[in-house]
């Protein structure tokens, strides 16, 4: 890699990992850094645990100290909140798992669209236009009718809803460059109009209303408040297995199926060395 290219790659990467900058979602360039975020978080956790195991030390007051996290990043903070419910409340039970291979704000519109399609038996070519009511933030950040690249497309609610009428949005392979070149998908995305939900739904992070106008004159509408993968509607074992195998298909289905089965009983494993084997 040339020095110039290394600089071009390293600067966006450094910026994207600095306190949650979201410029990648708007710039249309360098958006690959989005792929790093969860991986970097996991990498940092593994590195910290590995260093601690080898006796590497750090300040025990990293959180509450004079120059610790709370005083540096918070004007007001509650120390007791850090240990409130410790051993009783488990945040892992409130984790959301994405059902679809796109930004989480598109999940309820996509799910509502798929539910209408299944119920009324229409296809993408039957749709005249689509109206989506969502949150003010979704309208401001995710209303991208004509995304310039596939990573920005996965942030676009109009694109994701349009794609869901022509392809399987569960499969990451559906979101490839050919989707951006599809006149059907891009044409329908351009006909998706977004607006802000009326109260009190406008205060909900996930609620959306999808209204689909068909070419035969019918108008179909669906309100969705949670998608499959939220704590209210957790994914079942078969759905989790399907997602796992889709994401790991390049390593062979048989081996990954065995790995999935072992991961479901991870607390009974003596080591996790086999995960990277």
Cα 134 to Cα 204: distance, rounded to the nearest angstrom: 9
| Span 174-218, pLDDT tens digits | 999 999 999 999 999 999 999 999 988 877 788 999 999 999 999
Strand-pair category, 127-134 with 208-214: antiparallel
pLDDT value for 73: 87
With respect to CATH, is domain 104-224 assigned 3.90.420.10?
no
pTM (predicted TM-score): 0.81
d(CA 77, CA 92): 23
C-alpha distances in Å from residue 185, one per residue of 68, 100, 124, 131, 134: 49, 17, 8, 16, 21
Q: What is the pLDDT of residues 161-185, one digit of tens each?
A: 999 999 999 999 999 999 999 999 9
Percentage of residues in the chain having pLDDT higher than 90: 61
Give the residue-averaged pLDDT of 72-82: 89
Alpha-carbon distance of 145 to 271, in angstroms, equals: 47
Residue 102 has pLDDT above 80, yes or no: yes
Say if residues 212 and 116 touch (Cβ distance below 8 Å): yes
45-75 pLDDT, tens digit each: 889 999 999 999 999 999 999 999 999 988 8
What does the domain layout of the chain look like in residue ranges?
16-79, 104-224, 237-276
Task: List, for residues 8-43, the tens digit of each pLDDT value.
Answer: 456 666 777 776 677 766 665 556 777 777 788 888
The pLDDT of residue 115: 97
Residue located via tokens 């690249």: 149
Question: pLDDT tens digit string along 222-277?
Answer: 999 999 999 889 999 999 999 999 999 999 999 999 999 999 988 888 887 777 66
DSSP-derived pairing of the beta strands 219-224 and 208-214: antiparallel
């Amino acid at each position: 890699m040339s020095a110039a290219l290394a600089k071009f790659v390293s600067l966006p990467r450094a910026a994207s990992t600095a306190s949650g900058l979201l410029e990648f979602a708007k710039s249309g360039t360098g958006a690959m850094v989005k792929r790093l975020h969860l991986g970097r978080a996991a990498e940092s956790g593994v590195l910290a645990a590995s260093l601690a195991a080898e006796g590497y030390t750090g300040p025990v007051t990293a959180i509450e100290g004079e120059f610790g996290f709370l005083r540096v990043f918070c004007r007001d903070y509650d120390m007791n909140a850090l240990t409130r419910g410790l051993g009783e409340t488990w945040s892992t039970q409130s984790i959301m798992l994405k059902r679809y291979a796109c930004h989480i704000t598109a999940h309820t519109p996509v799910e509502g669209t798929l539910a209408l399609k299944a119920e009324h038996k229409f296809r993408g070519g039957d749709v005249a236009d689509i109206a989506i009511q969502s949150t003010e933030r979704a309208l401001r950040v995710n209303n991208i009718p004509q995304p310039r690249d596939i990573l920005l497309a996965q942030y676009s609610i109009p694109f994701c809803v349009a794609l869901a009428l022509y392809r399987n949005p569960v499969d990451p392979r559906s979101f490839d460059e050919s989707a951006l070149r599809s006149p059907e998908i891009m044409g329908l995305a351009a006909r998706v109009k977004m607006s802000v939900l009326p109260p009190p739904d406008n205060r909900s992070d996930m609620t959306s209303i999808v209204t689909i106008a068909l070419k035969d004159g019918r108008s179909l509408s669906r309100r969705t408040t949670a998608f499959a993968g939220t704590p209210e509607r957790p994914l079942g074992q078969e759905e989790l297995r399907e997602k796992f195998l889709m994401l790991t298909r390049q390593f062979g289905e048989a081996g990954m199926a065995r790995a999935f089965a072992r991961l479901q009983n991870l607390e009974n494993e003596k080591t996790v060395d086999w995960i990277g084997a």
